[in-house]
Homo-oligomer: A and B are copies of this chain.
Amino acid sequence: MTLAEENYLKAIYHLENQSTNGVSTNALAEEMQTKASSATDMIKKLADKNMISYIPYQGVTLSKTGRAYAVKVVRKHRLWEVFLLEKLNFSWDEVHDVAEQLEHIKSEKLTDKLDEFLNFPKTDPHGDPIPDKHGHFEKVEKISLTEGLQGTTYVCVGVDDSSSDFLKYLDGNNISLGTTIEIIHKEPFDNSVKIRFNDLELVVSENVAKNLFLSEV
């Protein structure tokens, strides 16, 4: 598996988790920041390798092999994130990009030894679960802040890790995993949400609310 193939596989994996349908050529191209024609080419390659199955206009689905492979890449990504944060003192918003490179290192031994070195962490710095060496992991039950109910108290269990700016924003406002958040008011006009945490009140935009994941206490 080449670097590009691994990245496509990971993209398909993430998109599959976000909706119940197959992943369309267009959606895949957009996720990969490339053109639909390029996605078509890669879909052929991955289908030839039995990593995915594909029905035109119905989208791509990971095969068992494909999913297992994608999970391995995700496992590596998240382990490296933990390493960067805990051992090398990277900040929350810095880990993602470097982990994007490290996740492609091919050495099962390295991955497993790293896992052991980090004491078999269950989640990464963004709250996402880390698969074990057999690919098993527990799904974290979470809702986005936009889905939360007014007047209810939640705990922050996850964030979308793709934007460093977003993570810096959270950092600047002292929101992190484990922060207890009460929803004071949901503004229907612009879908902003007024929250309280650490005895502070803050109004966050819909954009922020969508990328902040909570679980009930």
A interface residue numbers (CB < 8 A to B): 84, 87-90, 94, 97-98, 101-102, 105-107, 109-110, 113-114, 116-117
> Cβ of A116: which chain B residues have Cβ within 8 Å of it?
88
Interface class of chain A by DSSP = helix
Pick the residue among B97, B106, B117 that contacts A87 (CB under 8 A): B117
Interface pair A101/B107, CB less than 8 Å apart: yes
Contacts A88-B113, A88-B116, A101-B107 known; 17 new A-B pairs at CB < 8 A: A84-B110, A87-B117, A88-B110, A88-B114, A88-B117, A89-B113, A90-B109, A94-B109, A97-B107, A98-B105, A98-B107, A98-B109, A98-B110, A101-B105, A101-B106, A102-B102, A102-B105
Contact sample, A vs B, 21 pairs, CB 8 Å cutoff: A84-B110, A87-B117, A88-B110, A88-B113, A88-B114, A88-B116, A88-B117, A89-B113, A90-B109, A90-B113, A94-B109, A97-B107, A98-B105, A98-B107, A98-B109, A98-B110, A101-B105, A101-B106, A101-B107, A102-B102, A102-B105
CA distance A59 to B181 in the complex (A): 66
What's the nearest-Cβ distance from chain B to residue A175, in Å? 24
The 10 closest A-B pairs by CB, nearest first: A88-B113, A98-B107, A101-B105, A98-B110, A88-B117, A87-B117, A102-B105, A88-B114, A101-B106, A89-B113
